[in-house]
Amino acid sequence: MEAADAREKARAEAEALRDGRLDALIARLDQASRDVAENARAQAAEVTALAEAATARAAAFDAQAEARLAALAEGAQAALAAQAARIAGFEERLERDRAENAGALGERLAAHARELGEGLRGTGALVHEAADLLRAGGAEMSAVSEMFTAAVDRYREASDRWLDSLGAVEEALEHKGRGETADLLGTYLDQTREVFDHSLRFQRELFSELRALRNRSS
């Protein structure tokens, strides 16, 4: 009888420990999701400020460039909002399901969300400094508009690939075994890192072009 009681007590303690770790992981993931959403809002505000600064200089560039800057603000805001919403929704699902493998999945997804937040902060910094350059009047507006339009197109493509991968992981949680899910999640995380590495490289190239434009015009 005492042995059975001891086993039951040990089992209860193990379950409590597991639940505590899962709660902590969920809290971390929730914070990461909030960080991503906040960074998305901050970047959208910077892009909007860029579009407003461009509008104030309407006499310096043609109507086509102005339209492209407006499309830039709309496209960037939509892409970032979609990413933030999907991460927040997935976090809510983890909390609701509390599945047996949710702990390991939550750990890796929390790390991924932090990486995503860093990528968004990097893009936001780029947009912020580019807006300063434009307000200083050192760049040719039409050329800058072309480059930012291309940047948003590439960012949207990366976002679409990332969202498609996240959908595959969500489906795997419902229909595949834990081994298959882990393999798919690993592939998804590798792809995500590749997407953001590409995004950061492109940002550096874009900003080099912006600086070159300013140097030529000064």
Check whether 14 has a pLDDT greater than 70.
yes
Check whether 6 has a pLDDT greater than 70.
yes
Check whether 194 has a pLDDT greater than 60.
yes
Average pLDDT over residues 195-207: 60
* Amino acid 73: pLDDT: 53
Q: How far apart are CA 175 and CA 156, in angstroms?
A: 29
Check whether 12 has a pLDDT greater than 60.
yes
* Amino acid 9: pLDDT: 80
Check whether 4 has a pLDDT greater than 70.
yes
Mean per-residue pLDDT over the chain, rounded: 60
Check whether 13 has a pLDDT greater than 80.
yes
In this prediction, what percent of the chain has a pLDDT beyond 90? Answer: 0
Q: How far apart are CA 70 and CA 152, in angstroms?
A: 12
Average pLDDT over residues 132-154: 57
Most confident of 12-16, 49-53, 91-95, 148-152: 12-16
pTM of model > 0.85 = no
80: closest CA among 150, 146, 162, 149? 162
Check whether 132 has a pLDDT greater than 70.
no
* Amino acid 15: pLDDT: 78
* Amino acid 45: pLDDT: 64
